[in-house]
Amino acid sequence: MERLEDSKILEIIKNELPEWKYQNNKLLRELRFKDFKQAFTFMTLCALKCEQMDHHPEWYNVYNQLKIELNTHSVNGITNLDIELARYIEEQYKNIKI
């Protein structure tokens, strides 16, 4: 798995993932939900995809808030796996009724 260049990452964020940030070699996204149950349901849905991809986020949940950090530890940066997972997360979040 190859690490993506910063310029490529910023281009993808600008064009496809405008709610995401790129900092410290990680893709970052903060999400809010109606309540803890909705946040946990969303995390479970994403966890199944993560397991299928064998690619797991760092995430932090407090009640209805979820902070997600994506990067590929083996290259200490962003790869296509991170982009694919971010796209999936964003798609699922758009389907949530808050």
Structure confidence by residue, pLDDT tens digits, 9-23: 999 999 999 999 999
Does any domain span residue 1? Answer: no
Domain membership of residue 65 (yes or no) is yes
For residue range 56-69, list pLDDT tens digits in order: 999 999 999 999 99
Residue 83 has pLDDT above 90, yes or no: yes
Tokens of 19: 């709610």
The CATH number that applies at residue 21 is 3.30.1360.20
Handedness of CA 96, 27, 48, 64 (dihedral sign): negative
pLDDT attached to residue 74: 92
- Model pLDDT, residue 97: 76
Does residue 33 fall inside a structural domain?
yes
Enclosing domain of residue 74: 6-94
User: What's the predicted TM-score (pTM) here?
Assistant: 0.94
Question: Residue 1: what pLDDT?
Answer: 85
Encoded tokens for 97:
């009724």
